[in-house]
Protein backbone atom coordinates (compact mmCIF):
# COMPACT_ATOMS: atom_id res chain seq x y z
CA UNK A 1 0.00 0.00 0.00
CA UNK A 2 2.90 2.35 0.77
CA UNK A 3 4.47 1.71 -2.65
CA UNK A 4 1.16 2.34 -4.36
CA UNK A 5 0.79 5.72 -2.65
CA UNK A 6 4.34 6.72 -3.60
CA UNK A 7 3.77 5.72 -7.21
CA UNK A 8 0.59 7.80 -7.28
CA UNK A 9 2.48 10.80 -5.95
CA UNK A 10 5.20 10.31 -8.58
CA UNK A 11 2.66 10.11 -11.40
CA UNK A 12 0.99 13.22 -10.03
CA UNK A 13 4.30 15.11 -10.16
CA UNK A 14 4.91 13.90 -13.71
CA UNK A 15 1.45 15.03 -14.76
CA UNK A 16 1.95 18.43 -13.17
CA UNK A 17 5.35 18.76 -14.84
CA UNK A 18 3.98 17.82 -18.25
CA UNK A 19 1.04 20.17 -17.88
CA UNK A 20 3.30 23.06 -16.92
CA UNK A 21 5.74 22.26 -19.73
CA UNK A 22 3.01 22.03 -22.36
CA UNK A 23 1.38 25.19 -21.04
CA UNK A 24 4.64 27.09 -21.24
CA UNK A 25 5.30 25.70 -24.70
CA UNK A 26 1.86 26.76 -25.87
CA UNK A 27 2.32 30.24 -24.40
CA UNK A 28 5.74 30.54 -26.07
CA UNK A 29 4.32 29.41 -29.43
CA UNK A 30 1.46 31.88 -29.13
CA UNK A 31 3.91 34.67 -28.36
CA UNK A 32 6.27 33.80 -31.22
CA UNK A 33 3.35 33.44 -33.63
CA UNK A 34 2.15 36.88 -32.61
CA UNK A 35 5.62 38.36 -33.18
CA UNK A 36 5.90 36.68 -36.56
CA UNK A 37 2.45 37.94 -37.49
CA UNK A 38 3.27 41.58 -36.72
CA UNK A 39 5.59 42.24 -39.71
CA UNK A 40 3.12 40.60 -42.08
CA UNK A 41 0.29 42.78 -40.81
CA UNK A 42 2.51 45.83 -41.06
CA UNK A 43 3.34 44.98 -44.66
CA UNK A 44 -0.33 44.48 -45.45
CA UNK A 45 -1.21 47.85 -43.89
CA UNK A 46 1.56 49.63 -45.83
CA UNK A 47 0.48 47.93 -49.05
CA UNK A 48 -3.12 48.96 -48.42
CA UNK A 49 -2.05 52.56 -47.72
CA UNK A 50 0.04 52.60 -50.90
CA UNK A 51 -2.79 51.17 -52.98
CA UNK A 52 -5.19 53.73 -51.49
CA UNK A 53 -2.82 56.64 -52.24
CA UNK A 54 -2.28 55.38 -55.77
CA UNK A 55 -6.03 55.18 -56.38
CA UNK A 56 -6.47 58.82 -55.31
CA UNK A 57 -3.87 60.03 -57.82
CA UNK A 58 -5.28 57.72 -60.48
CA UNK A 59 -8.80 59.11 -60.10
CA UNK A 60 -7.62 62.67 -60.73
CA UNK A 61 -4.80 62.19 -63.25
CA UNK A 62 -5.93 58.98 -64.99
CA UNK A 63 -2.65 57.14 -64.43
CA UNK A 64 -1.13 54.68 -61.99
CA UNK A 65 1.69 56.56 -60.18
CA UNK A 66 5.01 55.28 -58.93
CA UNK A 67 4.67 54.21 -55.30
CA UNK A 68 7.67 54.13 -52.96
CA UNK A 69 8.16 52.87 -49.41
CA UNK A 70 11.51 53.84 -47.88
CA UNK A 71 12.99 54.64 -51.31
CA UNK A 72 11.96 51.23 -52.66
CA UNK A 73 9.52 51.24 -55.56
CA UNK A 74 6.70 48.78 -54.94
CA UNK A 75 4.59 49.88 -57.91
CA UNK A 76 5.57 51.26 -61.30
CA UNK A 77 3.89 54.01 -63.28
CA UNK A 78 1.53 53.32 -66.16
CA UNK A 79 -0.89 55.47 -68.15
CA UNK A 80 -3.30 54.63 -70.99
CA UNK A 81 -2.62 57.98 -72.71
CA UNK A 82 0.37 60.34 -72.95
CA UNK A 83 -1.34 63.55 -71.82
CA UNK A 84 -4.18 64.81 -69.68
CA UNK A 85 -5.75 68.12 -70.72
CA UNK A 86 -7.40 69.99 -67.84
CA UNK A 87 -8.22 73.42 -69.33
CA UNK A 88 -8.77 74.64 -72.91
CA UNK A 89 -9.01 78.20 -74.16
CA UNK A 90 -9.21 80.13 -77.44
CA UNK A 91 -6.76 82.98 -78.09
CA UNK A 92 -7.68 85.42 -80.93
CA UNK A 93 -4.41 86.95 -82.22
CA UNK A 94 -3.39 89.53 -84.83
CA UNK A 95 0.03 89.83 -86.45
CA UNK A 96 1.52 92.34 -88.91
CA UNK A 97 4.71 92.10 -90.92
CA UNK A 98 6.34 94.75 -93.13
CA UNK A 99 9.49 94.90 -95.21
CA UNK A 100 11.03 97.90 -96.96
CA UNK A 101 13.49 97.91 -99.82
CA UNK A 102 14.58 101.03 -101.67
CA UNK A 103 11.57 102.90 -100.39
CA UNK A 104 9.11 100.20 -101.47
CA UNK A 105 7.11 98.50 -98.73
CA UNK A 106 5.41 95.12 -98.72
CA UNK A 107 3.26 93.97 -95.82
CA UNK A 108 1.14 91.12 -94.55
CA UNK A 109 -1.63 91.30 -91.94
CA UNK A 110 -2.82 88.06 -90.48
CA UNK A 111 -5.35 87.20 -87.76
CA UNK A 112 -6.72 83.91 -86.45
CA UNK A 113 -7.82 82.07 -83.34
CA UNK A 114 -5.47 79.63 -81.67
CA UNK A 115 -6.91 76.87 -79.48
CA UNK A 116 -4.67 75.87 -76.57
CA UNK A 117 -4.83 73.01 -74.08
CA UNK A 118 -3.04 72.93 -70.74
CA UNK A 119 -2.57 69.97 -68.47
CA UNK A 120 -0.08 67.23 -67.64
CA UNK A 121 2.48 65.15 -69.48
CA UNK A 122 1.73 61.65 -68.15
CA UNK A 123 5.11 60.38 -69.31
CA UNK A 124 6.77 62.44 -66.58
CA UNK A 125 7.09 60.78 -63.16
CA UNK A 126 4.17 60.97 -60.72
CA UNK A 127 5.67 59.78 -57.44
CA UNK A 128 3.84 58.78 -54.26
CA UNK A 129 5.81 57.93 -51.12
CA UNK A 130 4.27 56.17 -48.10
CA UNK A 131 5.78 56.52 -44.62
CA UNK A 132 5.97 52.95 -43.24
CA UNK A 133 5.55 54.13 -39.65
CA UNK A 134 2.62 56.55 -39.96
CA UNK A 135 1.26 55.63 -43.42
CA UNK A 136 1.31 59.34 -44.24
CA UNK A 137 1.55 60.05 -47.97
CA UNK A 138 3.60 62.58 -49.93
CA UNK A 139 2.83 62.97 -53.63
CA UNK A 140 5.37 64.62 -55.94
CA UNK A 141 3.65 65.66 -59.19
CA UNK A 142 4.90 67.35 -62.37
CA UNK A 143 3.87 70.94 -63.00
CA UNK A 144 1.12 71.64 -65.53
CA UNK A 145 2.19 72.83 -68.98
CA UNK A 146 0.87 73.84 -72.39
CA UNK A 147 0.13 70.60 -74.21
CA UNK A 148 -0.97 71.86 -77.62
CA UNK A 149 -1.58 75.02 -79.66
CA UNK A 150 -3.71 74.59 -82.78
CA UNK A 151 -4.73 77.05 -85.49
CA UNK A 152 -8.47 77.29 -86.02
CA UNK A 153 -10.30 77.70 -89.33
CA UNK A 154 -10.92 81.47 -89.08
CA UNK A 155 -7.57 82.49 -90.56
CA UNK A 156 -7.68 85.90 -92.29
CA UNK A 157 -4.82 87.02 -94.50
CA UNK A 158 -4.13 90.37 -96.19
CA UNK A 159 -1.02 90.85 -98.30
CA UNK A 160 0.16 93.92 -100.24
CA UNK A 161 3.25 94.19 -102.44
CA UNK A 162 5.29 97.33 -103.01
CA UNK A 163 5.97 98.75 -106.47
CA UNK A 164 9.16 96.75 -106.89
CA UNK A 165 9.26 94.98 -103.50
CA UNK A 166 6.97 92.08 -104.31
CA UNK A 167 5.57 89.49 -101.88
CA UNK A 168 6.84 85.93 -102.39
CA UNK A 169 5.87 82.48 -101.23
CA UNK A 170 8.92 82.56 -98.98
CA UNK A 171 7.55 85.74 -97.37
CA UNK A 172 4.20 84.09 -96.69
CA UNK A 173 5.80 80.95 -95.26
CA UNK A 174 8.08 83.01 -93.02
CA UNK A 175 5.20 85.14 -91.74
CA UNK A 176 3.21 82.02 -90.92
CA UNK A 177 6.14 80.61 -88.96
CA UNK A 178 6.50 83.90 -87.07
CA UNK A 179 2.76 84.01 -86.38
CA UNK A 180 2.83 80.50 -84.95
CA UNK A 181 5.88 81.32 -82.83
CA UNK A 182 4.25 84.51 -81.48
CA UNK A 183 1.09 82.57 -80.65
CA UNK A 184 3.03 79.97 -78.67
CA UNK A 185 4.95 82.68 -76.81
CA UNK A 186 1.78 84.57 -75.91
CA UNK A 187 -0.04 81.45 -74.72
CA UNK A 188 3.00 80.27 -72.74
CA UNK A 189 3.11 83.67 -71.01
CA UNK A 190 -0.57 83.45 -70.09
CA UNK A 191 -1.95 81.97 -66.87
CA UNK A 192 -3.36 78.89 -68.64
CA UNK A 193 -0.84 76.43 -67.15
CA UNK A 194 -1.25 77.89 -63.67
CA UNK A 195 -5.02 77.58 -63.94
CA UNK A 196 -4.74 73.97 -65.08
CA UNK A 197 -2.52 73.16 -62.12
CA UNK A 198 -4.82 74.96 -59.68
CA UNK A 199 -7.81 73.07 -61.06
CA UNK A 200 -6.06 69.70 -60.73
CA UNK A 201 -5.01 70.58 -57.19
CA UNK A 202 -8.54 71.61 -56.32
CA UNK A 203 -9.98 68.33 -57.60
CA UNK A 204 -7.38 66.35 -55.69
CA UNK A 205 -8.01 68.25 -52.46
CA UNK A 206 -11.80 67.91 -52.84
CA UNK A 207 -11.41 64.16 -53.21
CA UNK A 208 -9.20 63.96 -50.12
CA UNK A 209 -11.60 66.10 -48.09
CA UNK A 210 -14.49 63.73 -48.86
CA UNK A 211 -12.66 60.71 -47.49
CA UNK A 212 -13.01 60.42 -43.72
CA UNK A 213 -10.33 58.86 -41.57
CA UNK A 214 -7.64 59.22 -44.20
CA UNK A 215 -4.00 59.40 -43.14
CA UNK A 216 -2.18 62.68 -43.87
CA UNK A 217 -1.77 63.22 -47.60
CA UNK A 218 0.46 66.05 -48.84
CA UNK A 219 1.04 66.90 -52.48
CA UNK A 220 3.15 69.38 -54.42
CA UNK A 221 3.77 70.23 -58.05
CA UNK A 222 7.38 70.18 -59.16
CA UNK A 223 8.75 73.42 -60.57
CA UNK A 224 11.48 73.74 -63.19
CA UNK A 225 14.85 74.92 -61.85
CA UNK A 226 14.40 78.40 -60.41
CA UNK A 227 10.62 78.07 -60.01
CA UNK A 228 8.75 78.31 -56.73
CA UNK A 229 7.39 75.26 -54.91
CA UNK A 230 3.88 73.91 -54.75
CA UNK A 231 1.73 72.84 -51.82
Residue 130 phi, psi dihedral angles, 5° rounding = -110, 125
In DSSP terms, which residues pair with 61 in a beta bridge? Answer: none
Q: What tens digit of pLDDT does each residue of 171-200 get?
A: 999 999 999 999 999 999 999 999 999 999
| Residue 6 CA: distances (Å) to CA of 10, 17, 228 | 6, 16, 89
Least confident of 39-53, 81-95, 143-157: 39-53
Domain boundaries, the chain: 47-222
Q: Where are the alpha helices (DSSP H) in 62-168?
A: none
Q: Are 145 and 192 in contact (CB under 8 A)?
A: no
Query: Which contacts of 70-73 are long-range, i.e. CB under 8 A and separated by 24 or more positions?
Result: 70/132
Q: What tens digit of pLDDT does each residue of 128-158 get?
A: 999 988 889 999 999 999 999 999 999 999 9
Residue 24's pLDDT band (boundaries 50, 70, 90)?
very low
pTM metric for this prediction:
0.74
Amino acid sequence: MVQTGAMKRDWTKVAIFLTATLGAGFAFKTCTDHLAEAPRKAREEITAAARDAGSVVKEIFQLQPQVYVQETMIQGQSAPVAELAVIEQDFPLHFEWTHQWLGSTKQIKISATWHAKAGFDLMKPFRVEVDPATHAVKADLPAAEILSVELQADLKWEGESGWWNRLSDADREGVMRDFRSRAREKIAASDLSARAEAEAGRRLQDLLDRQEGRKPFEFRFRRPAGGDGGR
